[in-house]
Structure 1
């Protein structure tokens, strides 16, 4: 056979046998095993023998025995320290209140609520211009409060503020109250009916205690009888009143006030025809040395035997921090502090109520947080919500 004929025969034999295909499939198979078992590298050997037009192919070798990485299943221990701090990165597990930022989809007059979860009045953080008050119903819809447009409140010096206050929404989510100069407006959110009560003064504060409605100007607190329109004065500051537990009979009232070493818990009870007031100093002994409450601000909220309220605090010897305090409503002992630090807007973190065993509070102030004092857990509810909020306690 001539040399060129032998060359053609060898070329034909090589065309029918494709040695690169077994090698490629072997490596792909090894990679699949490696990904599936998350193990070490798999060895593959492919030997192609070409003798007289015959090819012997060895399949890839079995991969090496996998080693399964160990992962810890332990969960972080709850932060039961008396002084707690939020994590650097917040999680947002979801909440019905997360719809507060949704656009308006109905009017209250056209679609009254069965129960409101919250009232929200947007305020532009750059210009201070406020929008219309919105109503978040328990059906998840955001409504425009179109039946009334409350004016800004003002004090005797002419200082103004938006009409919506943290205490505007009643505990059952059915009524909304707005203090105005020389009157109080009450809206039935289930019927969209509006009623106005004449009451002299530069009124700024509203607060519900069960079915009782309290209204205040700069230094006087009135209790309004909504059936008759009659009022009586209450010897507690409208700035310091604590919102009672919605499950309580609300016969008594609590207030938190004072500065630093003169912080007090005041209790007002009615016995027969007499109103008795008891003032007791706050007890800070449950806190580690160097930790204290300097001054409360915003509205205090009671749940069972606990009160939560925003405050300026000292932790670890550092003064002037934003925080929230939880104290015993019976003894006045401060049991927990949430340290929110310095780098925030002054008065950033007003408490808005309780949701079960968690405290709801503003944050910086464009967000809403949830804090569980018993474990130290802090999570987000909604971001970038600028303006005033009033929540129905739950």
Structure 2
């Protein structure tokens, strides 16, 4: 059985199941088996594997050089400690050093070319893509078209679906995709100004759910893989995503995730909200941390929550290594019911060198109970990286290729691990 066959079998067997722990266990076992066979192949037929990687890289629009085996050095070994307020921290490598990180197998292709049109085939209902592991949007003028990414790196353009940007009440626009866009490996939802579009990745068919607002900004699946939550800045609606003719039901305060993090007014603590099965807030607490502002959505497991963050530099300055720039951004993770926050700090490059962009790091999900998957963007490229919250180690997962370093950031939704 090939990797693709195994992925397709798992996807078909679990497409209608909620993403609960036993489903995650099955996925983890499949990923472990892929990694085992990959190591065996590399150890026994190294020259052939290197040649195969070169061909695959050309097909994906990437480099023809095989990935280097990372050496243990200051760029790949986690730097960790405790800040003055008691928050445990780890430090990312400098921007541009991501290729030197050890690999982490999360079920994603090692290269995802966000810029190439040559690598994307057109969707066919007769031969739908198997094992969809990610979705992003291709820009065509003012129109966005979904691109489905499979576990073996193929890209499928759904050219029959045309989306427009979302807008808030002030007229600010954004790309219509969020990190919880995919449910069960089959259905993908996209917010639109006054409705939500659901795409079936098996048939290419779409369903439109009307929403009584001109400013729908977010749409995502709840943990049950059946309920869609659509949100504007001030209102929210729930939709039965299994029924094509379902009505959007007003549900102000609803949130599609299990946990939500926010910076509190005193800027030295985090608000942690716990949402129940009805998508309503059921519990909350505050926790000490150096976070002044959070960035993008909160993604979690059954116990942990993480999001992008901006930091109080009076606290993070103690973690700056000699010659590096300031530390004002990164990630924060919190065990929802107890314990202190943990942060992953993103140091800027030394003076005179370009590095990370503001808002560099956004959480995409969790590969397992202890590993956050996130996108990192900077002047030397874009990556999906993994952060182990226990050890502090950062790993390379996928290289996201773009047309130019200053291209607008392309949001990408994953269909691996947890996205509660």
Bin of the TM-score, shorter chain as denominator length: 0.5 to 0.7
- Measure the CA separation in 1 of the matches of 2:374 and 2:312: 19
Residue 92 of structure 2: which of 86, 90, 93 is its match? 86
- Measure the CA separation in 2 of the matches of 1:347 and 1:268: 26
Are 1:121 and 1:130, in contact at CA under 8 Å, matched by a contact in 2? Answer: no
- Measure the CA separation in 1 of the matches of 2:89 and 2:359: 19
Aligned residue pairs: how many?
296
1:109 aligns with 2:124: yes
The CA deviation string for residues 277-326 of structure 1, in whole angstroms up to 9 with x for no partner, is 33321244xxxxxxx12221111111231111111123645387111011
- Measure the CA separation in 2 of the matches of 1:132 and 1:329: 36
- Measure the CA separation in 1 of the matches of 2:277 and 2:146: 36
**Please, what TM-score do these two structures have when normalized by structure 1?**
0.66
CA RMSD, 1 decimal: 3.2
Using the TM superposition, give the Cα deviation of residue 142 of structure 1 relative to its aligned residue in structure 2, in angstroms: 0.5
Q: 2:203 aligns to what?
A: 191
Structure 1 pair 122–107 and aligned structure 2 pair: CA distance change class (3 A):
closer
- Measure the CA separation in 1 of the matches of 2:208 and 2:143: 23
- Secondary structure, counterpart of 2:110 in structure 1: helix
Q: Which has the higher contact order (CA 8 A, sep 6+)?
A: 2
Q: 1:178 aligns to what?
A: 190
- Secondary structure, counterpart of 1:282 in structure 2: strand
Using the TM superposition, give the Cα deviation of residue 256 of structure 1 relative to its aligned residue in structure 2, in angstroms: 1.8
1:281 aligns with 2:296: no
Q: 2:307 aligns to what?
A: 309
State how 1:138-217 maps to structure 2 within 5 Å. Answer: 138-170=151-183, 172-201=184-213, 202-210=215-223, 211=225, 212-217=227-232
Structure 1 pair 321–192 and aligned structure 2 pair: CA distance change class (3 A):
same
Q: 1:121 aligns to what?
A: 137
Q: 1:98 aligns to what?
A: 110
Q: 1:367 aligns to what?
A: 383
Using the TM superposition, give the Cα deviation of residue 147 of structure 1 relative to its aligned residue in structure 2, in angstroms: 2.5
The CA deviation string for residues 167-216 of structure 1, in whole angstroms up to 9 with x for no partner, is 3222x221110111111100011221111111111111012113121111
- Secondary structure, counterpart of 1:349 in structure 2: strand
Are 2:217 and 2:232, in contact at CA under 8 Å, matched by a contact in 1? Answer: yes
Are 2:273 and 2:281, in contact at CA under 8 Å, matched by a contact in 1? Answer: no
Q: 1:293 aligns to what?
A: 291
- Measure the CA separation in 2 of the matches of 1:235 and 1:120: 28
Structure 1 pair 322–204 and aligned structure 2 pair: CA distance change class (3 A):
same
- Secondary structure, counterpart of 1:346 in structure 2: strand
Are 1:349 and 1:361, in contact at CA under 8 Å, matched by a contact in 2? Answer: yes
- Measure the CA separation in 2 of the matches of 1:327 and 1:99: 30
Are 1:350 and 1:362, in contact at CA under 8 Å, matched by a contact in 2? Answer: yes
Structure 1 pair 105–123 and aligned structure 2 pair: CA distance change class (3 A):
closer
5+ residue gaps in structure 1? 1-72, 244-252, 285-291
- Secondary structure, counterpart of 2:234 in structure 1: coil
- Measure the CA separation in 1 of the matches of 2:316 and 2:209: 49
Using the TM superposition, give the Cα deviation of residue 230 of structure 1 relative to its aligned residue in structure 2, in angstroms: 2.6
Q: 1:221 aligns to what?
A: 236
Bigger Rg, which one: 1
Q: 1:45 aligns to what?
A: none
- Secondary structure, counterpart of 1:297 in structure 2: strand
1:329 aligns with 2:306: no
Q: 2:249 aligns to what?
A: 232
- Measure the CA separation in 2 of the matches of 1:168 and 1:308: 17
Structure 1 pair 230–344 and aligned structure 2 pair: CA distance change class (3 A):
same
Q: 1:42 aligns to what?
A: none
Using the TM superposition, give the Cα deviation of residue 353 of structure 1 relative to its aligned residue in structure 2, in angstroms: 0.9
The CA deviation string for residues 216-263 of structure 1, in whole angstroms up to 9 with x for no partner, is 1121121111225133333437xxx473xxxxxxxxx43222331463
Are 2:168 and 2:216, in contact at CA under 8 Å, matched by a contact in 1? Answer: yes
Are 1:152 and 1:162, in contact at CA under 8 Å, matched by a contact in 2? Answer: yes
Using the TM superposition, give the Cα deviation of residue 157 of structure 1 relative to its aligned residue in structure 2, in angstroms: 2.1
Are 2:220 and 2:228, in contact at CA under 8 Å, matched by a contact in 1? Answer: yes
